[in-house]
Amino acid sequence: MSDSASGCTEPHTALSAADVEALVRGICFKTGPPRRLGVEVEWLVHELRAPQLPVTPERLEAAYAAVRNLPLRSALTVEPGGQLELSSPPAASLTECIGTVSADLDAVRTVLREDGLALVGLGQDPWHEPRRFLREPRYDAMEACLDRTGPSGRAMMCTSASVQVCLDAGHEEPGPLGLVRRWWLAHHLGPVLVAAFASSPLAGHRPTGWMSSRQLLWTRIGAGRAGGPPLDSDPRGAWARHVLDSPVMCVRRDGAPWDVPEGLTFREWIETGVPRPPTREDLDYHVTTLFPPVRPRGHLELRMIDAQPGDDGWIVPLAVTAALFDDPEAAETAYRAVKPLAERTLGLPAPHNPLWLDAARSGLADAELREVAVTCFTTALDALPRLGAAPQVMEAVSAHLDRYVVRGRCPADDLLDRQRATDGRAHGKDIRP
């Protein structure tokens, strides 16, 4: 929410609830023909030759200092546990987006490799316990806030990674590229993406019982912090109410520890003015502390996809999602394919409903999700040439479809297979005289 809305309050002026609704409506959903695409790729950073060994903070700091000197087009950020993130600039095409991020990743990998480090694409670190790398007021406050709901918050902050696809909000008018339709589709295609790209079945060296343990972490953080609003015909109004009624993570202070209130919603903060009246800057910050699976930021940010194995694994969810949203024919087919899934949500917001939980727990072993995923991937493959996708992109999507989707598998299954093989070898060694 870095943009301003004309006619609204100045950054340092106290807000009313009406001000908040006007700001959120004006800033979080910006409509027009879908023309831009972006991706944010998060990575775990492990030892190149011995990934189960922890990387010391000193080594990470030195490596990141070298990476920051690279002339990257993507924005480089570091997550609380030391995960590395590259965020592409808005691209005019899928090809441009992939080309920019691929070139930046090649440069980053070269520098890290010289330090004996590697980028690893998994939704949750399968070996290492949560450990804070960044010590900043924002993350101190986040940790204190999330600790109230248990250990999942620290694990999310420090051991998780994702592929986040950013799409234009869509037309103001109805239809397959309209705002209301794209908002609805994001929340019902989301579980299909969770299941098809689940890659986090392990934590602490052991299976968790979930294909996407990363998605489980978000669910356990709570609906106010990591949930979406109820779906209705007015996404702007629903999101504005959600912003007002969600708990405040922290009240920032200059030169002092930030306050971490418990149970104080932004609406209550406005009404009480305690510990001080909230301002436009506080609203902007508050929105950055809400983590629904689909977050409106002027565009739509789809946050439910686990980081993907392999150097180029991230390209597949980006390409599939772009095709299913930005090609009108594919968007209509995807809408029809996922529509029957809506009954399984029981009308509850994502991701705290049975459909999302089933996707995270079972992946594509869920027969209905598998059937819908096959349709969606096949539809995306048909649409990618119309988006100008390169042959190697279509080959990657086709390979994922054949290797995983049609077989009811996801990358998490590969990790579990390797884990079982490792356990079997270890057991064999134990019983040998």
pLDDT at residue 398, as a whole number: 98
Contact between 45 and 118 (Cβ < 8 Å): yes
168's enclosing H/E stretch is strand 162-168
Q: Is 275 helix (H, G, I), strand (E, B) or coil?
A: coil
pLDDT at residue 325, as a whole number: 98
Exposure string of 378-416, with b = 16+ CB inside 10 Å and e = fewer, is: bbbbebbeebebbeebbebbbebbeebbeebbbbbbebe
Q: Give the residue-averaged pLDDT of 331-346.
A: 98
Contact between 411 and 194 (Cβ < 8 Å): no
When pLDDT is cut at 50, 70 and 90, the band that residue 427 belongs to is low
Paired with 14 in beta bridges are 279
Enumerate long-range contacts of 261-269, CB under 8 Å, 24 or more apart: 262/148, 266/20, 267/17
The pLDDT tens digits for 209-237 are 999 999 999 999 999 999 999 998 899 99
Tell me how far apart the 2 most distant CA atoms of the chain are, in Å. 80
* % of residues, the chain, pLDDT over 90: 91
The pLDDT tens digits for 186-213 are 999 999 999 999 999 999 999 999 999 9
pLDDT at residue 423, as a whole number: 81
Average pLDDT score, the chain: 94
Cα pseudo-dihedral 31, 266, 280, 301, rounded to 10: -30
Q: What are phi and psi of 110, to 5 degrees?
A: -60, -45
Task: Quickly tell me which residue has 């149970």 as its tokens.
Answer: 263
- 1 or 317, greater pLDDT: 317
Kindly tell me if the per-residue pLDDT of 289 is higher than 80. Answer: yes
Q: Give the residue-averaged pLDDT of 40-64.
A: 96
Q: What are phi and psi of 182, to 5 degrees?
A: -65, -35
Q: Give the residue-averaged pLDDT of 396-415.
A: 98
Query: Terminus-to-terminus CA distance in the chain, angstroms?
Result: 65
Peptide bond into 275 cis (omega under 30): yes
Q: Give the residue-averaged pLDDT of 89-115.
A: 98
In terms of phi and psi (left: phi > 0; alpha: psi -120 to 50; beta: otherwise), the region of 403 is: alpha
Kindly tell me if the per-residue pLDDT of 9 is higher than 50. Answer: no
Amino acid identity, position 221:
I
